[in-house]
Amino acid sequence: MKNNCIFCAIAAGEIPSFKVYEDELVLAYLDINPFTVGHTLVIPKAHSEALLDTDDATLAAVIARVKKVAAHLKAALPCDGFNILQNNGEAAGQTVKHLHFHIVPRSGTEPIVFESRPGDMQELAALAARVKMA
């Protein structure tokens, strides 16, 4: 595992994921411990730890893909909106030291609670197939 970084290993294909988008710079995949159905992580393939040590070109590429994936999730899921989360440092709740954005789909009836729970792997695979972008 490169740099002992689980997200680098996922980006390299060393650890399986439920991909919904991928290009040469960015990968988006379903979180296996989702806050809500469709909770997706968007990461740069190149390692950077957090927002402040990510070069501007990479950050621009990632946020453009966050927008693209969020629009696709909103169209594919029964959701009224979504949260975009990005944590920096342990004090802010960052548990993996690799820049990543969370897209958390929301419906009008759900309370806003950020608590992960184990996801059903078969449901995640089916959802990834529905949401996957060419």
**CB-based contacts of 32, cutoff 8 Å, min separation 6:** 18, 118, 119, 121, 124
* Local structure of residue 5 (DSSP, 8 states): -
Q: Closest Cα to residue 28, out of 102, 127, 113? A: 102
Annotated active-site positions, please?
Answer: 100
Are the CB atoms for 32 and 124 separated by under 8 Å? yes
Q: What is the Cα–Cα distance from 2 to 7, expressed in whole angstroms?
A: 9
